[in-house]
Amino acid sequence: MTDWISQLCTHVGVHAQYRGFEGQTIEVSRDTQSAVLRAMGLDVGSDADARTVLDQMQAEDAARPLPLEVVVQVDHPCDVTLAHPAEWVLEAEGTGRTLASGKADERLCLPSLPLGIHRLRLRTGAGDFNTWVLARPPRAIQLEDHVPEARIWGVMAALYGLTDADGTQIGSYGLLGDYAAAMSGHGADFLGINPVHAMGQVRPHDIVSPYSPSHRAFLNTWHCAGPEGVVGDTAELLDYPAALRTNARALTEQFATFCALPERAFEKQVFHAFTAQAGTPLHEFALFEALSASFGADWRNWPTPYRDHDTHALATYAAKHATEITRTKWAQWRAEAQLFDAQTKARTAGMRVGLYLDLAVGPRLGGAETWVRDTSLITGATLGAPPDPLGPLGQSWGLAPQSPLKCRATGYAGFARLLRAIMRHAGMIRIDHILGLMRSFWIPDGGTEGTYVSYPFEALLAVVAIESVRNNTIVVGEDLGLVPEGLRDELAASGIYGLDVLQYMRTPTGGFVDTAETRKLAVCAFATHDTPTVAGFFAAEDARVRHEFGGIDAETLEQTRADRARAQETLATSHPVAEIHRQLARAEASMVAIQLDDIAERTSQQNLPGTVDSYPNWRLKAPFTVDDIASSKAFALLASDMAAQNRANPKAMEKAHDLSDCSDHAH
- Are 606 and 617 a contacting pair, CB within 8 Å? yes
Please state whether the predicted TM-score (pTM) of the whole model is above 0.75.
Answer: yes
Closest CA relative to residue 185, chosen from 643, 630, 662, 634: 630
Q: How confident is the model at residue 657 (pLDDT cuts 50, 70, 90)?
A: low
Rounded distance between C-alpha atoms, residue 561 and residue 342, angstroms: 41
Q: How confident is the model at residue 167 (pLDDT cuts 50, 70, 90)?
A: confident
Q: How confident is the model at residue 395 (pLDDT cuts 50, 70, 90)?
A: confident
Displacement of CA 219 from its chain's centroid (Å): 12
Would you state the pLDDT for residue 663? 41
Cα Dmax for the chain: 82
Out of 120-129, 232-241, 602-611, pick the least confident: 232-241
Rounded distance between C-alpha atoms, residue 419 and residue 431, angstroms: 9
Rounded distance between C-alpha atoms, residue 136 and residue 462, angstroms: 6
What would the mean pLDDT of 308-337 be, rounded to a whole number? 98
What would the mean pLDDT of 8-33 be, rounded to a whole number? 92
| DSSP at 595 | E
Rounded distance between C-alpha atoms, residue 335 and residue 328, angstroms: 11
What would the mean pLDDT of 502-513 be, rounded to a whole number? 96
**How big is the CA angle at 391 (ends 386 and 396), to the nearest 5 degrees?**
55
3-state secondary structure of 522: strand
Closest CA relative to residue 629, chosen from 155, 151, 153, 152: 155
Name the phi and psi angles at 546, rounded to 5: -60, -40
349-371 confidence digits (pLDDT tens): 999 999 999 999 999 999 999 99
In single-letter form, the type of residue at position 460 comes to L
Would you state the pLDDT for residue 400? 97
* Strand ordering across the sheet containing 69-73: 69-73, 127-136, 116-124, 86-91, 98-104
Would you state the pLDDT for residue 661? 42
Instruction: Tell me the H-state helices in 64-122.
Output: none
Would you state the pLDDT for residue 665? 40
More confident residue, 232 or 548: 548
Based on the number of CB atoms within 10 Å of its own CB, is 301 exposed (0-12), middle (13-18) or buried (19 or more)?
Answer: exposed
Q: How confident is the model at residue 658 (pLDDT cuts 50, 70, 90)?
A: low
Q: How confident is the model at residue 653 (pLDDT cuts 50, 70, 90)?
A: low
43-79 confidence digits (pLDDT tens): 898 999 999 999 999 999 999 999 999 999 999 999 9
- What end-to-end distance do the CA atoms of the chain give, in Å? 75
What would the mean pLDDT of 552-559 be, rounded to a whole number? 95
- Helices 576-585 and 633-644 pack at an angle, to 10 degrees, of 30
589-606 confidence digits (pLDDT tens): 999 999 999 999 999 999
* Residue 524: Cβ within 10 Å count: 26
257-266 confidence digits (pLDDT tens): 999 999 999 9
Question: Which residues have a Cβ under 8 Å from the Cβ of 161 and sit 6 or more positions away?
Answer: 171, 238, 606, 619, 620, 621, 622
Would you state the pLDDT for residue 220? 98
Q: Write 274-282 long-range contacts (CB < 8 A, 24+).
A: 274/329, 274/333, 274/336, 275/329, 275/333, 278/329, 278/332, 280/374, 281/217, 281/372, 281/374, 281/417, 282/218, 282/329, 282/332
**Mean pLDDT of the chain, nearest integer:** 94
Domains plus CATH for the chain? 4-63 (no CATH), 69-136 (2.60.40.10), 143-262+332-369+401-442+455-542+575-660 (3.20.20.80)
* Residue 53: Cβ within 10 Å count: 19
- Helices 322-348 and 173-184 pack at an angle, to 10 degrees, of 10
412-428 confidence digits (pLDDT tens): 999 999 999 999 999 99
- Provide the strand spans (E) within 507-608: 522-525, 591-595
Would you state the pLDDT for residue 659? 47
What would the mean pLDDT of 580-586 be, rounded to a whole number? 98
457-470 confidence digits (pLDDT tens): 999 999 999 999 99
- Proportion of the chain above pLDDT 70, given as a percent: 96
More confident residue, 660 or 109: 109
Q: How do beta strands 78-81 and 25-27 pair?
A: unpaired
What is the number of helices (H) and of strands (E) in the chain?
22, 23
Q: How confident is the model at residue 447 (pLDDT cuts 50, 70, 90)?
A: confident
Closest CA relative to residue 369, chosen from 326, 442, 427, 418: 418
Q: Is the pLDDT of residue 481 over 60?
A: yes
Would you state the pLDDT for residue 660? 46
- For the chain, what's the residue count? 667
- Are 453 and 13 a contacting pair, CB within 8 Å? yes
What would the mean pLDDT of 547-566 be, rounded to a whole number? 95
